[in-house]
Amino acid sequence: MAWITLNEVSLAYGHVPLLDRVAFALEPGERVGIVGRNGTGKSSFLKILAGLEKPDDGWIQLQTGLRRAYVTQEPVLDDAATIFETVSIGLAHVRQLCDRYLAHEPDTDLDALQNEIEALDGWRWEQRIAETLSRLDLDPLRLVGTLSGGLRKRVALAQALVAPPDVLLLDEPTNHLDMDAIGWLADLLRTFRGAMVVISHDRDFLDRVTTRMVELDRGQLNSYDGNFSTYQRLKEERLAQEAVVQAKADKLLAQEEVWIRKGVEARRTRAQARIERLGRLREQRAQRRDVVGQVRMEVNRGDASGKLVAELEDVSKSFVDHGTKKTVVRRFSATVLRGDKIGLIGPNGAGKTTLLKLILGQLPPDEGRVRTGTKLEVAYFDQMRNQLDLNATLEDFISPGSEWIEIGNRRTHVKSYLSDFLFSPARALSPVSSLSGGERNRLLMARLFARPVNVLVLDEPTNDLDIETLELLEQLLTDFDGTVFLVSHDRRFLDNVVTSTLVFEGDGQWREYEGGVEDWLTQSMRLHGRAPVWGHTTSGPSSAHDKTPKLTAPAAEAPPATAASTPAPARRKLSYKEQRELEALPGRIAQLEEEQQAIDQRLADGSLYVTAPQEAAQWAQRHADIEDELMQALERWEQLGASS
């Protein structure tokens, strides 16, 4: 039997229905991921499940005695309280029962009260808090006001888990967590015995945690069994089917509209049924909620920088923290060239921002030499959104004192530019303070990309962005011909964008690796004989009071193999036919990619699904076939290249 059941539930703000007569059931042991565009009502839906918000219509049924725990995006905690005091709020009801029993209040059935306390394991409440804090690696005596955003999120999670709940409801739990903490949280949630509903934009996290995905789209809940990757595949198939069905309906409606305008034939009595059907078709078309448009991002590229962006030789930087010298960068050397896309990977507090400032010449090193390139036009995306003027209107924030924005050789009205980022013209004069977290991130990007730039510095740009916008941002950064520095804990985002990574390896040591996160993990395994500790740990992160990031220094490199060691097998020489095949493969791959791009352009606006649905389906199938052919060609190229 379902623990939570929703039926015919509706919720609207103004004239926009966020939930339109939806049904939902949460079964015991399920781990459900909620996805959808920003502003579609995901957080409101989660609050309804938590009992914090009531729907406008419909009914909700809960299993008797069900315990629910809700962790919001930005936990509101008492800064003056200790972690122990804060977490104990999760057991407030149990503590009250124990206090009542010990007070021997008159007219109290002590036997019934004791049975209730024992059923809740109430006499062990202090021990349960201590066990939970130990599991989450939190210092019970530390004040909440001294914690970082990631640790505050962990305290809120401890407050929810200490009960323990039957249903855990999490709203963007990975925001402000580093890669190690995200991996630890995923491991923790996989072992959670109750049911869970989580809103997240982190695709790798959703893949690791969820057993079912639910998409909130145009007021409806669409459920997909499996993790995020399965959901993506099934959604593509559903949208293609939906496009074909809608195209047929639109074609029939157009034919009937032509017929009704003929007039004479339509006035015959026997045509009344056809007229009534036309009325139903019109009503169905009017009620259809079309897919919300996509963000259209374009970077205002400035003049090209010099080929050299930065060169660092044996650079070191230290700070004094509470009387103790802390080295965050130690004897680091690197060369950054125009067009590089570099990801910075490390736990919170490792010094990623300091390293960035050293690379861009904004912070002098204590030792070593930094040489920066010429014609650098740098734009920053700040995860704390300190650049936002909450009192300004959207229009003034994007283009102060002007109604026009110039991007390259194109001049665009500010309202039109805002609409590219899904802000309607009616909202152009709204204050920035009225925007949600995801909308504020979109607005910051709109301002960032409106200025001439050839170096982009993005500090946690993925927080609060919906997955579709994330994928568009990935494509934009991949196509950008300037230099990109990307600080992120989103593994998949880094893998899809960066060409190299700078990884913190403890004690101020940074090492450069080619490729993204998966490449770093593979190279680290080859280099050190094991995977790095953080990012793959299955235990809790470092102690809350320990300011040293938890990362074990790399093991000493293995000594050179002795003569007695088994020699590596010699590479097999390619045959003449294989050599010719290897030489032809790059051209074949380029040809397939060009054909795939041409199909993308043909299907981009969706009109072909309306005018020729069968042809559109054939092109879509050809696109999928090309993908398979490309993978085979790339694998064959790698296989032959390894032997040459």
How does pLDDT run across 2-14, given as a tens digit for each residue? 999 999 999 987 6
Lookup: tokens for 442: 């979109």
Q: Are the C-beta atoms of residues 490 and 516 closer than 8 Å to each other?
A: no
- Mean pLDDT, residues 474-480 taken together: 86
Amino acid identity of residue 281, one-letter, is L
Is the CB of residue 463 less than 8 Å from the CB of residue 455?
Answer: no
Query: Averaged over 17-26, what is the pLDDT?
Result: 92
Q: Is 461 helix (H, G, I), strand (E, B) or coil?
A: coil
318-343 pLDDT per residue, tens:
988 777 888 999 999 999 999 999 99
Q: CB neighbours of 197 closer than 8 A, spacing ≥ 6? A: 26, 32, 34, 46, 49, 167, 168, 169, 170
pLDDT of residue 270: 47
Q: In this structure, are residues 466 and 37 in contact, taking their beta carbons and an 8 Å threshold? A: yes
For residue 272, pLDDT over 70 is answered with: no
Query: Residue range 493-510: average pLDDT?
Result: 92
Q: Which residue has the higher pLDDT, 471 or 44?
A: 44
Asked whether the beta carbons of 532 and 549 are under 8 A apart, the reply is no
219 in Cβ contact with 19 (< 8 Å): yes
Share of the chain above pLDDT 90, in %: 27
3-state secondary structure of 517: helix
Residue 535: predicted pLDDT: 42
Structure token digits, residue 426:
């009616």
pLDDT at 546: 39
Tokens of 605: 């606006």
Nearest in space to 474 (alpha carbons), one of 449, 492, 496: 496
What is the per-residue pLDDT for 540? 40
- Measure the CA–CA gap between 425 and 517, rounded to whole angstroms: 40
What's the mean pLDDT in 355-382?
90
Looking at the predicted structure, is the pLDDT value of residue 138 above 50? yes
Contact between residue 59 and residue 21 where contact means Cβ atoms under 8 Å apart:
no
Place of tokens 């050397």: 333
Q: Is the pLDDT of residue 374 over 80?
A: yes
Could you tell me the pLDDT band of residue 536, with boundaries at 50, 70 and 90?
Answer: very low
Q: What is the pLDDT of residues 96-124, one digit of tens each?
A: 888 888 888 777 788 888 888 888 788 88
User: How confident is the model over 261-288, as a mean pLDDT?
Assistant: 57
DSSP state of 393: B
What's the CA gap between 261 and 258, in Å, rounded?
5
In angstroms, how far is CA 60 from the centroid of its own chain? 30
Q: How many residues does the chain have?
A: 644
Tell me: pLDDT of 1 over 70.
yes
pLDDT at residue 557 greater than cutoff 70: no
Least confident stretch, 86-90, 283-287, 390-394, 578-582? 283-287
CA within 13 Å, CB half, 41: 25
pLDDT tens per residue across span 142-178: 999 988 777 888 899 889 888 888 999 999 888 877 7
- Treating both helix axes as pointing N-terminal to C-terminal, what angle do 228-260 and 272-287 enclose, rounded to 10 degrees? 140
- 250 vs 358, higher pLDDT: 358
For residues 637 and 289, the model is more confident at: 637
Q: Let me know: does 451 contact 380? Beta carbons within 8 Å.
A: no
Whether residue 369 contacts residue 344, with contact meaning beta carbons closer than 8 Å, is answered with no
Rounded mean pLDDT, 174-195: 85
Spatial CB neighbours of 408, under 8 Å, sequence gap ≥ 6: 300, 301
* pLDDT single digits (tens) 38-89: 778 899 999 999 999 999 999 999 999 899 999 988 888 999 999 999 999 9
Instruction: Name the burial class of residue 272, with classes exposed (0-12), middle (13-18) and buried (19+) by CB atoms within 10 angstroms of its CB.
Output: exposed
Q: Which of 218, 153, 149, 172 is nearest to 43 (CA)?
A: 172
Q: What is the model's pLDDT at position 278?
A: 60
Higher pLDDT, 28 or 184: 28
Q: Which residue has the higher pLDDT, 201 or 175?
A: 201
Mean pLDDT of the chain: 80
- Burial code (b: 16+ CB inside 10 Å, e: under 16) for 212-225 equals bbbbbbbbebbebe
Helical axes 467-479 vs 437-449, angle rounded to 10°: 20
Looking at residue 269, its pLDDT comes to: 46
SS3 455: strand
- Helix crossing, 613-643 with 228-260: angle to 10°? 150
Which pairing describes strands 510-514 and 500-504: parallel, antiparallel, or unpaired?
antiparallel
d(CA 563, CA 561): 7
Residue 558 pLDDT exceeds 70:
no
The confidence score (pLDDT) of residue 576 equals: 64
Say how far apart CA 356 and CA 353 lie, in whole Å. Answer: 5
> Would you state the structure tokens that stand for residue 155, as one six-digit string?
């305290």
Beta carbons of 465 and 313 less than 8 angstroms apart: no
Distance separating alpha carbons of residues 151 and 179, to the nearest angstrom = 14
Roughly what angle, to the nearest 10 degrees, separates helices 92-103 and 110-119?
150
Q: Does residue 641 have a pLDDT over 50?
A: yes
Look-up of token digits 């990362």: 551
List, in sequence order, the alpha helices (H) in 15-91.
Answer: 42-50, 83-88
Task: Inform me whether the pLDDT recorded for 503 exceeds 90.
Answer: yes
* pLDDT (0 to 100) of residue 349: 78
- Whether the per-residue pLDDT at 552 is higher than 50: the answer is no
Task: Write down the pLDDT at residue 260.
Answer: 63
pLDDT score, position 532: 64
Using CA atoms, how far apart are residues 335 and 434, in angstroms rounded to an integer?
A: 43
What confidence score (pLDDT) does residue 367 get? 94
* Chain segment 560-615, per-residue pLDDT in tens: 443 343 444 444 566 667 777 877 887 887 788 788 888 877 876 666 766 777 78
Tell me the pLDDT band of 286, cut-offs 50, 70 and 90. low
Q: Point out which residues pair with 311 in neighbouring strands.
A: 335, 371
Per-residue pLDDT averaged across 626-631, rounded?
Answer: 76
CA distance 421 to 404: 16
**Distances from the Cα of 412 to the Cα of 301, 440, 442, 446, angstroms:** 15, 21, 18, 13
> Is it the case that residue 217 has pLDDT exceeding 70?
yes
Long-range contacts formed by 179-182: CB under 8 A, 24+ apart: 179/345, 179/347, 179/489, 179/491, 179/517, 179/534, 179/535, 180/347, 180/533, 180/534, 180/535, 180/537, 180/541, 180/550, 181/150, 181/154, 181/347, 181/348, 181/541, 182/489
